[in-house]
Structure 1
Amino acid sequence: MNNTHESQSGAEPSEVSPTSLIHYTGTFYFPIAFVARLPFAMMVVGVLTAVVSARGSLSFAGLSSAMVGLGTAVVGPLLGASADRFGQRVVLLLAGVTNGLLLVGFAWAVNSTMSNAAILAIAFVIGTTAPQVGPMSRTRLVRIISERLAPARKVRSFNSTMAYESAADETVFIVGPFLVGLLASMVAPWLPLVAAGVLTIMFVTAFALHPTSTMQSREDDGKAEVAPLRSLAHPGLVSVVVGILGVGLFFGATLTSLTAFMNDQGTPERAGLVYGVMGVGSAGLALAVALFPTRFTLRARWLVFSSLILAGTMTLPFAGSVTHLVMALAIIGVGVGPTLVTQYSIGSALSPAGRSTTVMTILGSAVIVGQSLGSAITGAIGERFGSTAALALPSGAASLVVLAGVSYWFFADRGVHGGDERGLPTSTPTDSALEMSGAR
């Protein structure tokens, strides 16, 4: 799978005249990749909504959505490892078509006489086949930047790309639940799952067939050594996984607790609209991360912005009005975007040789697992103890994000392997390289 541009020009990286990322991706790459990742953010909430409507049990609905997260946790990283070994195209095509059909089938099954056990099994398989578009997109783009752009353009392109990718993830995790609520309330509770299935089959297939999926690494022709799986257990990388799991828990706990609060107000259908307020500041600040000075190190950004999330969430249980919630969420959103960008940037820098897709998939899976668990736990507590108790849970998730940031700071001081001097992945990372990148 040789790169088309290479085969046509035969030029070395230093001889290639184009210096822009879009030269290699093409005009339509980013819209395709954005829409292709949208169903990933819809499936947990879509399953929750459909099951509540069809089976009339919030606790069983929470368990069903948790099974989606469990499936993603178990198999998601294996999909990433398979993509590292066999290429993204075949993995995405198989996962995308299977997942799309399962989403449509679940919409029928949950409204049938099928047993609860069978419903849980299908929910689990939906999670196992969820296409990891976001992580694979990051892997493609980072590879292009690190291996094909001129050295003078790498740092700026890397920072801008990681900022955009994290903003895109943040946006879909806001827009996805909003679309689920809109379609479910205006048409039928099963429609979001059918829509997600159709989008998956169409756009994940388009993403899989995009030429960037076959852009082979210059180090991949069977000559480069692939790091062993045990290298993924590096303490610094584990801290990043735990931190991004905390962000996923925050997403799930926040949306579900907002739903409980708005239900008390008699307008549960407006929960998605209130939740969307958080996405405005989050996406904007995520994009602005590319403009941050290098002296504002990655580990410092993690602690600063995650602390802002924690401070905002601590006010939620005391919300006496929708206005209070909106103000708190606007402040929280300022912290969410930069935190995600920082975590993905560090994760990219810590990726062992030949394991970049695996690492990015683990991080992407951690978000959906956290969202599933957060939704299930918060739903159960909200149903039993009320919306005030539910609104206290996002601060617990935010605390986990902060603690993971502290842990990463500790391991960075002790010498964490990473990337090159700007945080770009390398095949043989060194301690001093990551220190120069600002991650230490």
Structure 2
Amino acid sequence: MHNPYSEIFRTPGTKGFAAAAFIARLPIAMAPIGIVAMLSQTRGEYWLAGGVSATFAFTNAFLAPQISRLVDRMGQTAVAVPTTIVSIIAFAALLVATNQDWPAWTLFVSAFLAAAMPSVPAMVRARWTEIFRDRPELNTAFAFESAADELVYIAGASLSVGLSVALFPEAGMLASTLFLAFGMTAFILQRASEPKVRPLEHGSGGSAIALWPVRIVTFALIFVGAIFATAEVSSVAITKELGQPGAASLVIGVYALGSFAVGLIVGALNLQAPKQRLLAISLAIISLTTLPLLVANTVPLLAIAIFFSGVAISPTFIMAFGIIERRVPEAMLTEGITWVMTGIGIGMALGAFVAGWVVDNYGAQNGFWVSVVAGMIAFVTVLAGQKALAGEDEGNLVSAVPQSAK
């Protein structure tokens, strides 16, 4: 039987950079929660733990597109080496500051500098694009990376917290830092698959976020990220309210499982429909499947509803990145992908906050209203932006970047 995933890994070098990228991106999930687990145990102040973690997360969300823009201009190795070194040193300083009980300001400064960590998901997708540009294998490669992202979020956070609790408070962050160091070293050393630098003509310094397709997809995926976070927060609150708090991890795992499985299936198919239309369909499914969550008042019902609400998450990511690959100039690709990843991260942070507020004030079950509203906004955004996503709204693109960059 034909296996499209085995096909993409027959190309020399793909196994190596994909494996290295998986290890190098584990800190994306491990670091934020690892900081909370570490500082909450050593300092005993959750506000401090949350503040330092938020400093890292939001600074990285702001810096990552700027770093990726430099990657597009100068190459992965030239930019990833110094930024990774800065990030590793800063993480090490954070570990020492925690262990030696240094002043609180040193924790914030270390977390701020650690946010220089480059966007591994964007760089690895740029390598796949370099190999399979304008070929159906690229859809399969993006599906594989979306599945890898799911595994990172499932395994990374659990591993970070588990190590901190089982061994010593700094264990999760120590492991995260080592994964970053070894993963990025292995990734950078594989120069043969590194994308070529393609400078924009006329010395343009434009940003990818000036392009309407990037704006639309990033804005829509902020709300998809909010749905993802709301599912986690509300599931924890509902299972606790039902007297079965231990079931939360199972429910959240089922959510990721649905997304993971369907994403792999979509990646194996050579879908011919326009990607902007498939993205709209995926978001329509996400919107509809948030509704049963409002009436899932038992753990079994919650698990079933959560499973179906997650089935379109990975396909949404696959189509979103596919649109970016087609609508963003090659010289802006890494930055364009990073903006989308940033949107997801911002959405998860905002979604967790808003869902938590709704749960505190209106009850656990009502937390899922955040998912319903977010799903509708994401769907309407992409539906209204179909022409721009299809490349038909050329006038807007011209105003954003030079004619030569389209």
Pick the TM interval, shorter chain: 0.7 to 0.9
CA–CA separation in structure 2 for the residues paired with 1:227 and 1:157: 31
Asked whether the equivalents of residues 239 and 247 of structure 2 are also in contact (C-alpha less than 8 Å), the reply is yes
CA–CA separation in structure 1 for the residues paired with 2:364 and 2:144: 34
**Would you say how many aligned residue pairs link Structure 1 and Structure 2?**
393
> 1:138, CA displacement in angstroms?
0.6
> 1:245, CA displacement in angstroms?
2.1
Q: Deviations over 1:373-408 (max 9, x none)?
A: 333444455456553343433333333322332232
Q: Deviations over 1:40-96 (max 9, x none)?
A: 122222233334444555555444433223202221111101111221113222232
Q: CA 1:62 to 1:113, structure 2 compared with 1: closer, same or farther past 3 Å?
A: same
- Given the alignment, which residue of 247, 257, 271 partners 2:234? 257
> 1:224, CA displacement in angstroms?
5.4
CA–CA separation in structure 2 for the residues paired with 1:170 and 1:208: 23
Q: CA 1:302 to 1:26, structure 2 compared with 1: closer, same or farther past 3 Å?
A: closer
**Which 10-residue stretch deviates more, 274-283 or 40-49?**
40-49
| Counterpart residue number, 1:176 | 156
Please, what TM-score do these two structures have when normalized by structure 2?
0.84
| Aligned residue type for 2:130 | R
Asked whether the equivalents of residues 225 and 354 of structure 1 are also in contact (C-alpha less than 8 Å), the reply is no
Asked whether the equivalents of residues 35 and 203 of structure 1 are also in contact (C-alpha less than 8 Å), the reply is yes
Report SS of the residue matched to 2:188: helix
Q: CA 1:102 to 1:373, structure 2 compared with 1: closer, same or farther past 3 Å?
A: farther
Query: Where do 5+ consecutive residues of structure 2 fail to align?
Result: 1-6, 395-402
CA–CA separation in structure 2 for the residues paired with 1:299 and 1:165: 19
| Counterpart residue number, 2:206 | 229
| Counterpart residue number, 2:56 | 68
> 1:295, CA displacement in angstroms?
4.2
Please, what TM-score do these two structures have when normalized by structure 1?
0.78
CA–CA separation in structure 1 for the residues paired with 2:240 and 2:102: 29
* Correspondence 1:405 to 2:382: yes
| 1:88-167 superposed matches below 5 A | 88-110=76-98, 113-126=101-114, 128-146=115-133, 154-167=134-147
Q: CA 1:412 to 1:81, structure 2 compared with 1: closer, same or farther past 3 Å?
A: closer
| Counterpart residue number, 1:206 | 186
Query: Where do 5+ consecutive residues of structure 1 fail to align?
Result: 1-18, 147-153, 418-426, 431-440
CA–CA separation in structure 2 for the residues paired with 1:429 and 1:90: 23
| 1:417-428 superposed matches below 5 A | none
Q: CA 1:88 to 1:410, structure 2 compared with 1: closer, same or farther past 3 Å?
A: same
CA RMSD of aligned residues (A): 3.2
Structure 1 runs of 4+ aligned residues shifted over 6 Å read 427-430
Asked whether the equivalents of residues 184 and 190 of structure 1 are also in contact (C-alpha less than 8 Å), the reply is yes
| Counterpart residue number, 1:346 | 323
- Given the alignment, which residue of 262, 265, 285 partners 1:288? 265
| Counterpart residue number, 1:45 | 33
> 1:230, CA displacement in angstroms?
5.0
| 1:355-374 superposed matches below 5 A | 355-374=332-351
Asked whether the equivalents of residues 225 and 344 of structure 2 are also in contact (C-alpha less than 8 Å), the reply is yes
Q: CA 1:88 to 1:339, structure 2 compared with 1: closer, same or farther past 3 Å?
A: same
**Which 10-residue stretch deviates more, 108-117 or 167-176?**
108-117
- Percent same amino acid at aligned positions? 23
**Which 10-residue stretch deviates more, 109-118 or 242-251?**
109-118
Q: CA 1:223 to 1:392, structure 2 compared with 1: closer, same or farther past 3 Å?
A: closer
| Aligned residue type for 2:122 | P
Q: CA 1:394 to 1:108, structure 2 compared with 1: closer, same or farther past 3 Å?
A: farther
